[in-house]
Amino acid sequence: MTTKLKSFLPLLGIAALAIALLVVAPAVLSDLRLNNLAKYCCWAMVAVGIGLAWGRGGMLVMGQGVFFALGAYAMGMHMQLESVGDGGIPTFMILYDPLAPLPAFWEPFRSGAFTIAMIVVAPVVVASILGFAIFKRRVKGAYFAILTQALAVALATLISGTIKYTGGDTGLSGFTSFFGYTLDDPLNRRLIFTITATLLVGCLVVAWQLYRSRFGELLVATRDAEERVRFLGYDPANIKLVAFVVAAVMASIGGAMFVPIVGIMAPKSMDAAASIFFIAGVALGGRAALFGPVLGALAVGYGQSTLSEQWPGTWIYVLGLLFIVVTIALPGGIASLATRGAGLLARLRSSDRKAASA
């Protein structure tokens, strides 16, 4: 196989995934399962970003819930306002003062275009400010991990503590429409699934392109030997920043699509525990591989749904055990099974050849 061809192998994989998600899944899955799959796809988008930042860049982002929340709340606020109609205020605000004007930061979210823009711009701005300070100061490793986790906790607490403006711990819910399409219509939920799956494929394409670009090589180099990259004349801070920002945008898009799919957005879906859950899928799937994070996130989501249907109340033991066993036995995640399998195959083949030549 030529190297030229080999470098396009991932594209075949992405195409296969796209066909599986966009053609096969809608054809064979019930509305319920398709909606579940849509939810896993949101987590998978976050996972692709984590794969980039952690798997390739070595930054253990334990607070992706922050960016997930940026997208999710932007979308949630827009859908909430769309549901209450022109001039209305969200139901949860009525109690405190039925005649109060909408808080200023809510007002622009009446516009769908502004919302979509914010889903991308907000994580870019926040991640840039945050990342710039962190990476310039060379905060690394476990420090970085705990620091990002603390931010997820802080944001979750902030949302819980500002119930009059954000809906607090109970979150935003009671949505009826998504950019003009009623959520009650099964056809529209298929539409939302298709959009989500497409965005996931898009994220994968972006990750693939980044991985095979010179930037991808620099990112891995930074992960493995940051000082040497610096000596070569590059600023590792900038390289990491780009990966961090891209990961943040992916988390934000995942969060935005999560809201119309599950119908409720509360701090619980983005707090420290949720953020660790995002990482779990990535680690399980294999963080450095292109498909590892996606498959891991889909597997964890699917596993959670099916295990808990099978054994409500005890499934968590199984999931916990899975985390332990995979981390111990498969440091490279499930994806490493493929490479290991390929390696084994190659060895077998070469021994065959030896046997033949003997």
Q: Within 277-306, which residues bind other proteins (CB under 8 A)?
A: 279-280, 283-284, 305
Nearer to other proteins, 30 or 357 (CB): 30
User: What is the C-alpha separation between 306 and 302, in angstroms, rounded?
Assistant: 6
Q: Give yes or no for residue 334 binding other proteins (CB under 8 A).
A: no
> Could you tell me which of 321, 276, 333 has the C-alpha nearest to residue 60?
276
Q: Give yes or no for residue 175 binding other proteins (CB under 8 A).
A: yes
Residue from the set 13, 215, 336, 338 that interacts with other proteins by CB under 8 A: 215
Identify the bridge partners of residue 265 per DSSP, sorted by sequence position: 172
Site stretch for other proteins (CB under 8 A), options 2-10, 168-176, 337-345, 350-358: 168-176
Interacting residues with other proteins between 227 and 256 (CB under 8 A): none
Nearer to other proteins, 98 or 104 (CB): 98
Report the residue count for the chain.
358
User: What is the C-alpha separation between 51 and 296, in angstroms, rounded?
Assistant: 11
Amino acid type, 352 = D
Residue from the set 67, 106, 258, 278 that interacts with other proteins by CB under 8 A: 258
Site stretch for other proteins (CB under 8 A), options 108-116, 204-212, 338-346, 350-358: 204-212
User: What distances in angstroms separate CA 346 from CA 340, 343, 349, one per listed residue?
Assistant: 10, 5, 5
| Half-sphere exposure in the Cβ direction for 277 (13 Å, CA) | 21
Nearer to other proteins, 115 or 173 (CB): 173
Looking up tokens 């996931």 gives: 200
3-state SS record for 319-334:
HHHHHHHHHHHCCCCC
Least CB distance to other proteins at residue 126 (A): 13
Q: Give yes or no for residue 266 binding other proteins (CB under 8 A).
A: yes
Least CB distance to other proteins at residue 346 (A): 25
Interacting residues with other proteins between 135 and 154 (CB under 8 A): 137-143, 145-147, 149-151, 153-154
Amino acid type, 58 = G
